[in-house]
């Protein structure tokens, strides 16, 4: 993540009352610590519960066997991505055939 993106994201979270920033006295002034506010903690818990609900929904609809195949495919894709150079990922280089 670019520093400007991080700053923009933190500014929005702070404006929304979800985080607060603070400095540690005696530390580098460029170093800023961030902590969740009580509202931020509540939002995090809500987000976690929504993710858990979604995961249960998917697990109930697909079943364990289909999920196992899905995760196997994702592992293969992640391995492939990890083995390619940035040029190959962007289409600027030749791909070697996969055997």
User: What pLDDT shows up at residue 89?
Assistant: 83
Are 24 and 43 in a shared domain? Answer: no
Beta-bridged to residue 35, according to DSSP, are: 20
On the question of pLDDT at 14 being above 90, the answer is: yes
User: What pLDDT shows up at residue 91?
Assistant: 82
On the question of pLDDT at 99 being above 60, the answer is: no
Pairing of strands 19-22, 33-36: antiparallel
How much is the average pLDDT of 35-60?
97
Are 55 and 24 in a shared domain? Answer: no
How much is the average pLDDT of 58-75?
96
Say if residues 31 and 24 touch (Cβ distance below 8 Å). yes
On the question of pLDDT at 93 being above 80, the answer is: no
* DSSP-H helix ranges across the chain: 3-15, 38-83, 86-89
Domain of residue 52, residue span: 38-86
Are 42 and 67 in a shared domain? Answer: yes
List, in order, residues 6 or more apart from 93 with CB less than 8 Å away.
85, 87
Q: What is the token pair recorded at 84?
A: 């390619």
The secondary structure of residue 25, as a DSSP letter, is: T
Looking at every residue in the chain, the average pLDDT score rounds to: 91
Are 53 and 80 in a shared domain? Answer: yes
């Amino acid at each position: 993540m670019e520093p400007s993106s991080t700053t923009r994201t933190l500014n929005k979270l702070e404006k929304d009352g979800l985080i607060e920033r603070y400095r540690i006295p005696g530390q580098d002034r460029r170093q800023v610590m961030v902590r969740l506010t009580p509202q931020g903690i509540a939002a995090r818990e809500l987000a976690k519960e929504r993710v858990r609900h979604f995961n249960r929904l998917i697990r109930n609809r697909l079943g364990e066997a289909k999920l196992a195949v899905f995760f196997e495919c994702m592992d293969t894709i992640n391995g492939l991505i990890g083995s390619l150079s940035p040029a190959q990922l962007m289409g600027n280089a030749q791909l070697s055939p996969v055997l």
